[in-house]
Chain A
Amino acid sequence: MALTQTPAAGVPAASGAEKARRMAVLWLVTGGTLLVVLALAGMLLRLTQSLGVLSDQWFYALLTLHSAGMVAVVLMTMAVVLRYLIAGELPIVHWVNVTNYALTMIAAVLVVAATVIGHFGTGWTFLYPLPDHPGPVPGWSPNWAYPYLVAVALLAVAFTLWSLEVLYAGVRRFGNPGRMFGADILTGRSKPGDPDTTNPSIIAAGVMAIGGVMTVIPGAIIIVLMIINNIDRSFTINALVAKELIYFAGHMLVNFDIYLGAGIAYAVLPKYVKRPWKATRVVVFAWWLTAVGIMLPYFHHLYMDFAQPAGLAILGNVASYASALPTVVVTVFTGVLLVYRSGLRWRPAPLFIFAAFAGWIIGGTGALIDSTPSVNEYFHNTLWVPAHFHTYMALGAVMFLLGGVYHVTPELTGQELSDQVGTVGARCILAGGWIVVLTFFASGAMSIPRRYAFVPVPLFEQMATVGLIGAIIVALGILLIAGDLFRVYLPGLTSRSLSSYNSPAIAERSSTGA
């Protein structure tokens, strides 16, 4: 009963852990709401491709809102959940958490304003010089590029703060960066699972943090340049350089979305399969490879820009293939071994995590095929592209996120989410989600372009209609789960009822050695 007791008047200021808990509740309620809205926007896009409800202007505005919003919301909520899961080892710096929340909310308002009011519709990639050159019949006023670009910049600042905070906390905890990233395990000085050694979730968070710091510099450069160009058109940017910078940052961001999920899986899955997921040498080595490998594949976004030197395209191809290895051979393979005949009960948390492995690997396979230049010539900017990234985002990253949410809910709210609702919701999301992505893949293989509200080719509308049915099933599942989430979380948000939040429990939870 301690969990629901109401603190008496004059309670002492909340402890760091209690503050972290409240912030996590706030993040998840906000993130959950935004995810529902953005998923419905996605459904509306497919609805338009099927039945033509939106004008082109609205289609592109919502496309931009849906995609920029999804990438950002998934990024920030995943970062928060993972950060919370390792908070027992690395205490959270409260003001950073609050600042990030504020920055993210301001960014959200700016993006909504730019797209819904201003019809800013460049797609989330805002390729130079389109934001400032909407064309002879402008879909938006170039002035709406400012809020959009500023929003992207604010998000970059938020993720960088998160990254610096993780690195700061990790180095404080382990004394030096090497031990945070498992150097002592790699050299054999410590054994995996020894007290005071790192764990896979911390390594994953740390590698993402390094990535975050690496990304902000090119990201900031291009945003500042584009803002200057917006102010004064006579200041021009080289279009190739601009595209390289945008895609470097964009590629990193969507990768963070999925790799943060691995960090969540490390912390969650062992609790259900009752088997340890330790930072073994192979795991450490895989993450070190990822830290480097995550930065090189992005050249594959510019395969069809022959102006990019062919050597970089080949590098992009090799790096794309190679970057799959740590995931396929180590992370997901180990995750599957962990589940294999473990006597596990399929509660929502492990179910979502396991489903995420499938989405990640299968979406990744679609990506690998497309990262072959001679195939890319036929798939570039067709629906194959949304197909593969929805597979590892919607059916991978978001599944990791939900797995994490189901797992931490009792800690955060003192209540369980309903297993029954979770299981039914998961089935809807998976069944509908796979319909959505398979129709995207099939359309891509038929050369149907992406970002078209309508294409006059046979089967376009039929595919969109089947996809729409999938999207409706997904929406039902999401609404079910969101309803349950709000039931459990909203009271936690408004009352200060959950006073006994004890850090030992977190410490136990985040040491994945089980």
Chain B
Amino acid sequence: MAPQEIAGLLFLACIIALGAGFITVAVTARRGPDDYETVTHTGYRIRRYWFIGLMIIGLVALGLTLPHMPYPLTRQVSASTPVTVVHVSGHQWQWKISPSKVPANRTIEFEVTSTDVNHGFSVIDPSNNEIVANVQAMPGYVNRLYVSFHHPGFYPVRCLELCGLYHTQMLAQLGVTGKNGRVPVASGGQPPAAKCSPSGTSLQISAHGLHFDKNCLAAPAGKTFTITFTNSDTGVPHNVAIYTDSSAGKSLFKGQVVTGAKTVVYHVPALSAGTYYFRCDVHPTQMFGTFVVK
């Protein structure tokens, strides 16, 4: 069971027990009045056991949980254990994560910092959307978090510290690779490839609030075409660039970066048929989509 499930169930049990206690006292309060001396006589004895009981619960809870604190103090592995270091840096509003793919079943050392305001780096398990790693990104400090991931797949990354208007858009992905060194494509968490078909050679797309208004663009094969790009984020640089695939290793076209609010027309050379990938090079983790040529 995930820690949050254990904690949640424990809490549920507490609510039921405490709630039952309060309701019982409330319902029976009308009875009486019982002599208060007698009530306190028994009550204070119960209080003593209640106190001792709570002390024991507290101490046991400390004993059981302190060794699992998420700090280097308890998590740091011995010098001989191989560790993959991942540098994470938060900016308003995107994550820079390098490398962005890590092997499964290996201790990962996240070195997390921020270049501007406080952010919260959290990694989400794609199978159940639950947090598996969580640490603050604070300007001027590097926080080291040790975790290992057991299932290959794309793990969404989210910001958990309010960092301004587009706080909720600080999304990224961490790839966890399997034995073959690849992230399984069918794993959850990856946006399904969008579908669309070409209609003419004048394409249009706009950026607003660190988002493209489309997740799919299409152009006819073997013909030059234009992309009219409207960047309506005042003061924010964006562009449109086309790559062979989402690894963005090989670019087919790189549009000039423009600072909003501004509209540009990109002239793109003819491409051969295929399903490609486009993104904003400035915000690659938030602004991307499928580029279809046919």
Which residues of chain A have a CB within 8 Å of any CB of chain B?
Answer: 56-57, 60, 121-123, 127, 129-130, 133-139, 238-240, 243, 274-276, 302-307, 310, 313-314, 317-318, 321-322, 324-325, 328-329, 333, 336-346, 354, 357-358, 361-362, 365-366, 369, 372-375, 377-382, 441-442, 444-447, 449, 451-455, 457-458
- In Å, the complex CA distance between A274 and B32 comes to 12
B235 interface hit (Cβ, 8 Å): yes
Between-chain CB contacts (< 8 Å), 23 pairs: A57-B165, A135-B92, A135-B164, A135-B166, A137-B233, A238-B140, A302-B136, A304-B134, A305-B136, A314-B69, A341-B33, A342-B29, A344-B29, A344-B30, A361-B18, A365-B18, A372-B65, A373-B66, A381-B161, A382-B131, A445-B4, A447-B124, A447-B129
Looking at chain B's contact residues, the main secondary structure is mixed
- Say how far B198's CB is from chain A's closest CB, in angstroms: 29
Beyond A57-B165, A275-B36, A321-B62, 12 extra complex contacts between A and B, CB < 8 Å: A56-B209, A121-B164, A138-B164, A276-B36, A324-B54, A338-B36, A341-B29, A343-B33, A374-B70, A378-B2, A447-B131, A458-B129
Known contacts A305-B136, A374-B3; A60 and B162 CB within 8 A of each other: yes
- Say how far A333's CB is from chain B's closest CB, in angstroms: 6
- In Å, the complex CA distance between A336 and B27 comes to 12
Contact assessment for A138 and B165 in the assembled complex, using a CB-CB cutoff below 8 Å: yes
Known contacts A138-B165, A340-B25, A374-B3; A441 and B8 CB within 8 A of each other: yes
**Contact stretch, chosen from B115-123, B220-228, B240-248, B262-270:** B115-123
Contact with A along B28-64 (1 / 0, CB 8 A): 1111111010011001000100110011001001100
**Which 6 residue pairs spanning A and B have beta carbons closest together?**
A445-B8, A343-B33, A139-B165, A135-B164, A135-B92, A341-B32
| Residues in B whose Cβ lies below 8 Å from that of A381 | 120, 134, 160-161
| Residues in A whose Cβ lies below 8 Å from that of B166 | 56, 135, 137
- In Å, the complex CA distance between A373 and B122 comes to 16
Contact with A along B59-94 (1 / 0, CB 8 A): 001100110111111000000000000000000110
- In Å, the complex CA distance between A69 and B233 comes to 32
| Residues in A whose Cβ lies below 8 Å from that of B273 | none
Contact assessment for A240 and B26 in the assembled complex, using a CB-CB cutoff below 8 Å: no
- In Å, the complex CA distance between A449 and B92 comes to 18
| Residues in A whose Cβ lies below 8 Å from that of B3 | 374-375, 377-378
Contact assessment for B162 and A305 in the assembled complex, using a CB-CB cutoff below 8 Å: no
- In Å, the complex CA distance between A322 and B8 comes to 22
- In Å, the complex CA distance between A310 and B29 comes to 47
Contact assessment for A306 and B135 in the assembled complex, using a CB-CB cutoff below 8 Å: yes
Contact assessment for B31 and A343 in the assembled complex, using a CB-CB cutoff below 8 Å: yes
Contact assessment for B19 and A306 in the assembled complex, using a CB-CB cutoff below 8 Å: no
Contact assessment for A378 and B130 in the assembled complex, using a CB-CB cutoff below 8 Å: yes
Contact assessment for B18 and A358 in the assembled complex, using a CB-CB cutoff below 8 Å: yes
Q: Which of B40, B68, B69, B117 contacts A313 (CB 8 A)?
A: B69
- Say how far A385's CB is from chain B's closest CB, in angstroms: 10
B138 interface hit (Cβ, 8 Å): yes
- Say how far A340's CB is from chain B's closest CB, in angstroms: 5
Q: Which of A60, A129, A369 contacts B7 (CB 8 A)?
A: A369
Which residue in chain A gives the minimum CB-CB distance to B72? A306
| Residues in B whose Cβ lies below 8 Å from that of A134 | 164-165
- Say how far A399's CB is from chain B's closest CB, in angstroms: 12
Known contacts A341-B39, A382-B131; A318 and B62 CB within 8 A of each other: yes
Known contacts A304-B134, A362-B15; A378 and B7 CB within 8 A of each other: yes
- Among B31, B62, B118, B235, the one with the most A-chain Cβ atoms within 10 Å of its Cβ is B118
- Say how far A456's CB is from chain B's closest CB, in angstroms: 9
Q: Which of B28, B118, B133, B145 contacts A127 (CB 8 A)?
A: B118
Known contacts A317-B62, A329-B47, A340-B28; A377 and B117 CB within 8 A of each other: no
Q: Which of A123, A321, A366, A451 contacts B58 (CB 8 A)?
A: A321
| Residues in A whose Cβ lies below 8 Å from that of B167 | 56, 451-452
B168 interface hit (Cβ, 8 Å): yes
- In Å, the complex CA distance between A366 and B168 comes to 25
Contact assessment for A306 and B236 in the assembled complex, using a CB-CB cutoff below 8 Å: no
| Residues in B whose Cβ lies below 8 Å from that of A377 | 3, 70, 131, 133-134
- Among A137, A342, A362, the one with the most B-chain Cβ atoms within 10 Å of its Cβ is A137
Which residue in chain B gives the minimum CB-CB distance to A388? B11
Contact assessment for B168 and A452 in the assembled complex, using a CB-CB cutoff below 8 Å: yes
- Among B2, B70, B72, the one with the most A-chain Cβ atoms within 10 Å of its Cβ is B70
- In Å, the complex CA distance between A322 and B54 comes to 10
| Residues in A whose Cβ lies below 8 Å from that of B68 | 374
| Residues in A whose Cβ lies below 8 Å from that of B26 | 339, 346, 354
Known contacts A134-B164, A375-B65; A240 and B92 CB within 8 A of each other: no
Contact assessment for A130 and B163 in the assembled complex, using a CB-CB cutoff below 8 Å: yes
- Among A136, A318, A454, A455, the one with the most B-chain Cβ atoms within 10 Å of its Cβ is A136
- In Å, the complex CA distance between A318 and B162 comes to 28
- Per the 8 Å Cβ criterion, residues 121-171 of B in contact with A are 122, 124, 129-131, 133-136, 138-145, 158, 160-168
| Residues in B whose Cβ lies below 8 Å from that of A274 | 33
- In Å, the complex CA distance between A342 and B7 comes to 36
| Residues in A whose Cβ lies below 8 Å from that of B66 | 314, 317, 373-374
Q: Which of B22, B55, B165, B235 contacts A60 (CB 8 A)?
A: B165
- Say how far A498's CB is from chain B's closest CB, in angstroms: 33
B98 interface hit (Cβ, 8 Å): no
B14 interface hit (Cβ, 8 Å): yes
- Say how far B253's CB is from chain A's closest CB, in angstroms: 25
- In Å, the complex CA distance between A264 and B231 comes to 57
B187 interface hit (Cβ, 8 Å): no
| Residues in B whose Cβ lies below 8 Å from that of A380 | 120, 134, 160
Known contacts A329-B47, A377-B70; A457 and B14 CB within 8 A of each other: no
| Residues in B whose Cβ lies below 8 Å from that of A302 | 136
Contact assessment for A358 and B19 in the assembled complex, using a CB-CB cutoff below 8 Å: yes
| Residues in A whose Cβ lies below 8 Å from that of B11 | 365-366, 369, 441, 445
B204 interface hit (Cβ, 8 Å): no
Contact assessment for B162 and A362 in the assembled complex, using a CB-CB cutoff below 8 Å: no
| Residues in A whose Cβ lies below 8 Å from that of B32 | 341-343
- Say how far A28's CB is from chain B's closest CB, in angstroms: 27
Q: Which of A129, A275, A318, A378 contacts B117 (CB 8 A)?
A: A129
| Residues in B whose Cβ lies below 8 Å from that of A324 | 54
B234 interface hit (Cβ, 8 Å): yes
- In Å, the complex CA distance between A365 and B43 comes to 22
| Residues in A whose Cβ lies below 8 Å from that of B134 | 304, 377-378, 380-381
- Among B5, B31, B36, B165, the one with the most A-chain Cβ atoms within 10 Å of its Cβ is B165
Contact assessment for A135 and B29 in the assembled complex, using a CB-CB cutoff below 8 Å: no
Q: Which of B18, B39, B117, B122 contacts A337 (CB 8 A)?
A: B39
Contact assessment for A137 and B236 in the assembled complex, using a CB-CB cutoff below 8 Å: yes
| Residues in A whose Cβ lies below 8 Å from that of B161 | 127, 381
Known contacts A340-B39, A380-B134; A375 and B7 CB within 8 A of each other: yes
Known contacts A341-B34, A452-B168; A239 and B140 CB within 8 A of each other: yes
Contact assessment for A130 and B138 in the assembled complex, using a CB-CB cutoff below 8 Å: no
